[in-house]
Amino acid sequence: MTTVVFRPRKIRRVAWACAVGLVVVFTIVGLLLGNTPTGVIFRTSDQVAMIVLGFLLAGGVLLLTRPRVTADAAGVDVRNVVTSHHYDWKDVLSVSFPDGAAWARLELPEDEYISVMAVQAVDREYAVASVRALRELHKAAR
């Protein structure tokens, strides 16, 4: 039984670069807070809070690296930034990538759909190959 796993590519690189940048910038700002000529007094707790804030923001940005879709002959698991869903192929009408959409989606009964954030338009050829593979699994299961 073939299992395929797809994760976004470009957004993962960008998110990691932004996360590292946030930590570096907030750490530098936190360390430099103690020496201001403005007369404002920053304590060590303020400096630590600034560094911790950088890590928290970086963690928020890294949530964008979470999306993943795993599919096999039985069904498909879609993990987006916050939510996760499992669908049997019999419950999926089609795998689509509408014009102008940022990511692919699974068409469900009663005009519902679930976004597949792991397959993003910015990944171009990788996104096309991912949708084709998902469609083949869907076709084989039906």
Of 116, 6, 104, 21, give the one whose Cα is nearest residue 62: 21
Q: Return the sign of the alpha-carbon dihedral for residues 10, 14, 15, 16.
A: positive
Higher-scoring residue by pLDDT: 71, 42: 71
How many angstroms separate the CA atoms of 141 and 4, rounded? 14
- 10, 120 contact by CB (below 8 A): yes
What average pLDDT does the segment 92-100 reach? 94
Percent of the chain at pLDDT exceeding 70: 98
When pLDDT is averaged across residues 121-138 and rounded to a whole number, the result is: 94
Closest by alpha carbon to 133, among 78, 88, 83, 71?
71
Average pLDDT over residues 10-14: 95
77 forms beta bridges with: 70, 86
| 3-state secondary structure (DSSP) of residue 108 | strand
pTM of model > 0.75: yes
Is residue 1 over pLDDT 70?
A: no
